A and B are shown apart, each in its own frame.
Chain A
């Protein structure tokens, strides 16, 4: 039940409740890629100043979030070493938070390695101002709108922003 409750809370924007339910699911042994990534991205987004302020997240929760998201990404990488999505998010978060290098060629390779895992298309689409990986990004946007979790909402907002900016450049 924890996972269903976690997904419902996550889709409802109840950050702290969703995190607690995902943690319960993990503790109960549901260490799936979906749970690890959903929770990692939820914690990561919880540390965004805008989201943390809007949701009035407590300093205690933010401290937990800041400590947990790298742990969860590492756990996902250890358990699912073949996952290109995990590799992508590890690099992308370092780029987003710290300005570390994120090579577009690496994103292309990840997308080529597993064409079904579309997360790298978000960055290629954004970095090229909407010119590269257009079909993949639109498919990813469709999936993320359907998914509705915190991580998916982040991806959708990035892609939608790129589409909007491409519109006013024309």
Chain B
């Protein structure tokens, strides 16, 4: 299935290359069809996360196959997650802004929510240098906020959590990693 993996990797790379720097770069065809490049990223990065088989994941995304931890995200069930996405925070997290994603469907939003939970549930992704790296302010760190990042070939998923709840999250494109 190397050809399938190559296509997925190409789509993933293309999504980030095409991702605009500002929200104004999106031109809505109509309110219902407004789709940003992040949609492609979501589909490619997380695929059928959580309900897909191992075999399906091997074909879905190079991003998920490229590290062992990434692959574990795809294979693990919801019961193993330490971080929880609170849907009441969707307005703050999912929006048209730099480094954020604005999913075009409930399914896509669900996949991103799950991705954020998984990134923030893996201790290997915890950024001990969060303040120095500009992921958190000193004040936020002192208040107990933690930052997690997971870097794929073409994007950096970032998540901040406090008390086990995702506070903010998004995807930084190439050239804008922290």
Which of B6-14, B47-55, B66-74, B91-99 sits within the interface? B91-99
Please report the C-alpha to C-alpha distance between residue A57 and residue B34 in the assembled complex, in whole angstroms: 29
Which B residues lie within 8 Å of A158 (CB)?
Answer: 91-92, 95
Secondary structure call for the B interface: loop
A50–B172 CB distance below 8 A: yes
Question: Which residues of A from 1 to 60 have beta carbons under 8 Å from B?
Answer: 13, 47-59
Which A residues lie within 8 Å of B86 (CB)?
Answer: 99
Interface residue B177 (Cβ < 8 Å from any Cβ of A): yes
Please report the C-alpha to C-alpha distance between residue A164 and residue B96 in the assembled complex, in whole angstroms: 10
Which A residues lie within 8 Å of B75 (CB)?
Answer: none
Interface hub of A49, A51, A56 (most chain B Cβ within 10 A): A49
Please report the C-alpha to C-alpha distance between residue A162 and residue B31 in the assembled complex, in whole angstroms: 12
Which B residues lie within 8 Å of A51 (CB)?
Answer: 97-99
Interface hub of B22, B96, B138, B147 (most chain A Cβ within 10 A): B96
Count the A residues whose beta carbon is within 8 Å of the partner chain — how many?
A: 41
Interface residue B60 (Cβ < 8 Å from any Cβ of A): no
A98–B134 CB distance below 8 A: no
Please report the C-alpha to C-alpha distance between residue A160 and residue B92 in the assembled complex, in whole angstroms: 11
Interface residue B160 (Cβ < 8 Å from any Cβ of A): yes
Q: In the complex, which of the residues B96, B167, B170, B178 contacts A99, with contact meaning CB atoms closer than 8 Å?
A: B167
Interface residue B57 (Cβ < 8 Å from any Cβ of A): no
Q: Distance (Å) between the CB of A16 and the closest chain B CB? A: 13
Sample of 15 more A-B contacts, CB < 8 Å, known A99-B163, A164-B34, A168-B32: A49-B160, A49-B172, A51-B98, A53-B156, A65-B137, A67-B137, A70-B139, A97-B167, A98-B167, A126-B92, A153-B23, A158-B92, A158-B95, A161-B91, A161-B102
Question: Which residues of B from 137 to 178 have beta carbons under 8 Å from A?
Answer: 137-140, 143-145, 147, 156, 158, 160, 162-163, 165, 167-168, 170, 172, 176-178
Which A residues lie within 8 Å of B92 (CB)?
Answer: 96, 126, 158
